[in-house]
Chains A and B, each alone.
Chain A
Amino acid sequence: MEWEFTLLLLVNGILIGLMYALIALGFVLVYKATDAINFAQGEFVMSAGIIAAVVVAASTSFFLGVVVALAAMVLFSFLLERVMLRPLLGRPIVAVIMATIGLAALLRGLLPLVFGAGTRPISLPEFIGEEPIALGPVMLQPVQLVGAGVSILFLAGFSWFFLKSRMGIAMRAVADNQQVAMAMGINVERYFALAWAMAGIVSALGGVVWGSMLGVDVHLALVGLKVFPVVILGGLDSIIGAVVGGLIIGIVENLAAGYIDPYVGGGTKDFAPYVVMIIALMIRPYGIFGKRKIERV
């Protein structure tokens, strides 16, 4: 029984971890390309979740909800870059951080005001079903499997984009040195916009996936808090790091909840990732896969 319990915790941790990785990816994309730290990533996810829930409820079509959420988040991120962040280019990084923190508070206040504060469900299409699926001794929720599947798909897609496509190479060039990239004929601002748009896509997917698992209300934004341990652990600018960091945090969180919660009465899930983050900062401040500044002439 004991090993089955552990296995359950591990598998759950992996599935949850993949979904953390998806959200962390949004953060990493933006940081990598534009050097901006987005403290509103969790609120992006919440916003997408609310939009998706409203549309799914009104139209009874899950897919319409997903499409609208995607479109809304891409548009939103795009405009955000244009209107709020571009004027801050070249300013100290703190300006951008403060701007995104302000934005986070705004979204947390405004969206419930417009759409109501109650918790909404996002119901998955019928063919996915609600019966737990048995994988050997472990029972898994279909929602989690779908979420993990979507995450894997998009993590793989974005990795390919960054590592192999020409646009991905250009985006990494921008991340490395904006001025030189510009002299190569790369329209740097367009790539900034693209990075934000991609963060919008990832947030929308995260909102749907997490929303259908937890239900949608303001608390969905808390998922964003897990992004920081994930990216600090994996490296702020590494996609692979987001995946590995997500998996580690997912597993740690689940193991902590399974083994320590019974003794302390719960809540370890929320701070265990941060313990890992602090340890990671002390040992490897740039993360497992983060880029070190290359020191040579």
Chain B
Amino acid sequence: MLSLNNVEVVYDGVILVLKGVSITVGQGTITTLLGANGAGKTTTLKAISGVLRSERGEVTKGAVELNGRRIDGMQAFDVTRLGLAQVFEGRRVFEHLTTEENLVAGGHIRPDMREVRETIELVYGYFPRLRERRYQQSGYLSGGEQQMLAIGRALMSRPKVILLDEPSLGLAPMLVEEIFGIVRKLVQNENLTVLLVEQNATLALEIADHGYVMENGRIVLEGSAAKLRDNADIKEFYLGLNEVGSRKSYRDVKHYKRRKRWLS
């Protein structure tokens, strides 16, 4: 469905961030991409969706293919038309637009307004809370509601593949569970394929079929979610460390050690 083959990404012509990344995402599956801060996860997603260029980044080697079609080098708004949607890290709703206007903007590529209305209803079906907030300025929604809106907005173009960038960021565990549950339902009911970037490895490996671990611009570990759950390194550094506050600092301290181990 979606594949990256030995992809290299350079920012500003000199900063090499991805150093030959290969990832395959199978049709109808959830694949998760794990890794520490600055590993290059978001960059990977941006390389797929094509928004990299607006940050002066470029795929300099390798290929990104969607359904056998090369999409690296394409403009982001054209990639969207091929059935790919990205949910950005930090939600990035259009703050000054209402909830419903955000959804209308998400359905931009679909000319028939009746279909857009139908999809809005579909989104409200999955996220009833958005319906209650439909005429509110989205900048004032709660973090959880904004995340729901960001996912709903991505659904508006009726994509086949969705890239999800840290949907759990800054949300209470209960809410994260709820949102992940809905994502799983979406994959089943709407025939979606998901590439999920996460820091919360426990949850990610719970709903994913397959996983990759990224370090410093390279894939260092790959396997089925079940296999990764049992992996000693993952266990040590991700699982069981779920308090949001302590996680980051702990990880930073251990960063060097872990990297060495995965590379050896």
Contacts and interface: CB of A to CB of B under 8 A. Distances in A.
Contacts, number: 82
A170 B80 CA distance: 15
A157 interface: no
Contacts of A106: none
A185 B140 contact: no
Q: How large is the interface on A (under 10, 10 to 19, 20 to 34, 35 or more residues)?
A: 20 to 34
Contact of B86 (A169, A178, A183, A291): A183
Interface string B140-155: 1001000000000100
A297 interface: yes
A185 B108 contact: yes
B105 A169 contact: yes
Given A180-B88, A183-B88, A166 B95 contact: no
A181 B86 contact: no
Interface stretch (B21-29, B60-68, B96-104, B218-226): B96-104
Contacts of B102: 173
Contacts of B85: 183
Interface string B86-124: 101000101111000110111011000100000000000
B54 A179 contact: yes
A186 interface: yes
Nearest to A182: B76
A170 B113 CA distance: 14
A169 B101 contact: yes
Contacts of A180: 88, 92, 94
A176 interface: yes
Contacts of B106: 184
Interface of B: 49, 51, 54-56, 75-77, 80-81, 85-86, 88, 92, 94-97, 101-102, 104-106, 108-109, 113, 137, 139-140, 143, 153, 156-157, 170
Given A90-B56, A181-B105, A184-B106, 13 more contacts: A166-B108, A172-B96, A172-B97, A173-B97, A173-B102, A173-B108, A175-B96, A179-B54, A180-B88, A182-B75, A184-B77, A187-B77, A297-B170
